[in-house]
Structure 1
Amino acid sequence: MSVSELFHLFVASHIVTGATGLLAFWVPVFAKKGGTAHRTVGKVFTVTMLLTGTAAIGISLCTLADPVSTHPHLTEHADFRDPALVRAIFGWMMLALATLTLNLAWYGWQCIRNRRDHTANRESVNLGLQAATFITATNCAVQGLLIGQPLMLGVSLIGWATVGTNLWFLYKRQPAANDWLREHIKALVGAGISVYTAFFAFGAVRTFPTLALHPVLWAIPLTVGLAIILYQWRKLARPRAALPAGQRA
């Protein structure tokens, strides 16, 4: 099987699992927390994010191996005629986003699975994904500097921030009662942001290549996702704020 054929196999898998996950994303966001719909569809979302991230890694590696045959439609566009640019954007940056998605989906899942045993969150896969995300984010920044693409630096900052906040929680000695839930929300909504961003930005390449790097297209999922996270965190804080100081976690 050629690199191009393998690439298209990964793309097909990415589209199927990604589209399923992006539709499933909204059910746990709006459904009653802890209810049947939230738990059931939330698992579907998490699994599809893990599969989507894995397929995206395959896409990025194929692009790195052969940027021209995997993206022949871009060779006719003035903005992407240089194979080095295609390799950087659709190879290195996608690899960073894919690793970030895997990190957030797995971490968010572990937060709820280990809510009664915080130290269990420090298992090898969880810690390994923090390291992998830091490495791919750092590489993304380096590659962005080499081609003069500030968007890649922005992706790197998100990756570093994710690793930093994840490790802060993972090694926190005495987490507050709702810390695991705050991290669960942050991570899984973050995974949704990551994949929506990829679908909007990289999906636009097929029809409007210049939109792939337009900051507005990248800002929309991030803004909506952050609003969801902050809203859910605020809801969590309300009952605690209503308690007398001595009864708060």
Structure 2
Amino acid sequence: MYAFLLAVHAVIGGLALLSFWSAGLARKGGTTHRLAGRTFLLAMIGIGATALPMALLRLAAGDVAFGVFMLYLFLITATACLNAWLAIRWRGDWRRYHGPWHRALAWLNLAAAVALLAYGLQRGAVLLSGFSAVGLYAGVQMLRAAARGEQPRWWLHAHYSGMLGAGVATHIAFLGIGLGRLLPAYAGSAQMLAWFGPLATAVVIGWRLRRRYGAGPERAAADPLA
């Protein structure tokens, strides 16, 4: 069962990588951007649907560290995808988007990050401890966005932040987990770069997007999920 899920997961992951870059490089709001964006989010649903049972199977087999990290990665990735999708669907309703579900999900990310940090420190696992920062950051940013009130183009910031977060998870899964299992020699500092490299890249891209879209009057944009 695990081998079958892994094979399906890998195929869908390849589609997710391809559609992520297709959407990212296409003209924003255009047909290609919308189609690739929808494909990416649908692929992420498939990834989540296979990752969750894989994590539970690994836990049942006694591989606690990998199972725990898979569950954590599932949570932060699902959060990013949900934020990206609903930001577009509800872009005309700030209160609905930042409703109770949003705050509950933010606190869930914070709780999971703290738990992962404690578990990583107890095991001396640098990767687990380090990646707790992702959930901490996501949870804090979601709560801050809700506390700030409605801002110009809030939905655009939430959308591209969510897409970047989901994209980071996809690249980490491929470079840090999948490629490492295919190439056992791929380890050490190179593997560490594969884990934290996508995260650093997303920070830079997010900074550039905030500079480009972070101020000024809100512009109309096509719904990539319509």
Which residue, out of 19, 22, 35, partners 1:24? 19
Q: Does 1:222 align with 2:217?
A: no
CA separation of 1:170 and 1:48: change in aligned 2, threshold 3 A: farther
**CA-to-partner distance for each residue in 1:124-175, whole Å, 9 max, x for gaps?**
65455434433332221122112111221111111111011122223442x2
**CA-to-partner distance for each residue in 1:32-76, whole Å, 9 max, x for gaps?**
111111111111111212321332222111111104xxxxxxxxx
Alignment of 1:1-249 (within 5 A): 5=1, 7-67=2-62, 86-88=63-65, 90-122=66-98, 126-173=102-149, 175-203=150-178, 204-208=180-184, 211=187, 214-237=191-214, 240=216
**CA-to-partner distance for each residue in 1:183-228, whole Å, 9 max, x for gaps?**
2111111110011111111111342276278421212211222222
CA separation of 1:212 and 1:194: change in aligned 2, threshold 3 A: farther
Distance 1:37 1:170 in 2: 31
The one-letter code matched in structure 2 to 1:162 is: A
Kept after mapping to 1: 8 A contact 2:52/2:71? yes
The one-letter code matched in structure 2 to 1:230 is: W
Distance 2:102 2:45 in 1: 13
SS in 1 for 2:28: coil
- Residue identity over aligned pairs, in percent, reads 27
SS in 1 for 2:216: helix
The one-letter code matched in structure 2 to 1:133 is: N
The one-letter code matched in structure 1 to 2:172 is: T
Unaligned runs of 5+ in 1: 68-85, 242-249
Distance 1:207 1:9 in 2: 20
C-alpha deviation, 1:182, in angstroms: 1.1
Kept after mapping to 1: 8 A contact 2:116/2:129? yes
Distance 1:207 1:120 in 2: 46
Kept after mapping to 2: 8 A contact 1:95/1:136? no
Distance 2:185 2:107 in 1: 32
Normalising by structure 2, what TM-score?
A: 0.85
C-alpha deviation, 1:14, in angstroms: 1.5
Distance 1:212 1:132 in 2: 32
Between 1 and 2, higher relative CO (CA 8 Å, sep ≥ 6) is seen in 2
Number of residue-to-residue matches in the alignment: 215
Please tell me whether Structure 1 or Structure 2 has the larger radius of gyration of its CA atoms. Answer: 1
Kept after mapping to 2: 8 A contact 1:211/1:217? no
SS in 2 for 1:240: coil
Regions of 4+ moved over 6 Å: none
Distance 2:102 2:38 in 1: 18
Aligned equivalent of 1:74: none
Kept after mapping to 1: 8 A contact 2:152/2:216? no
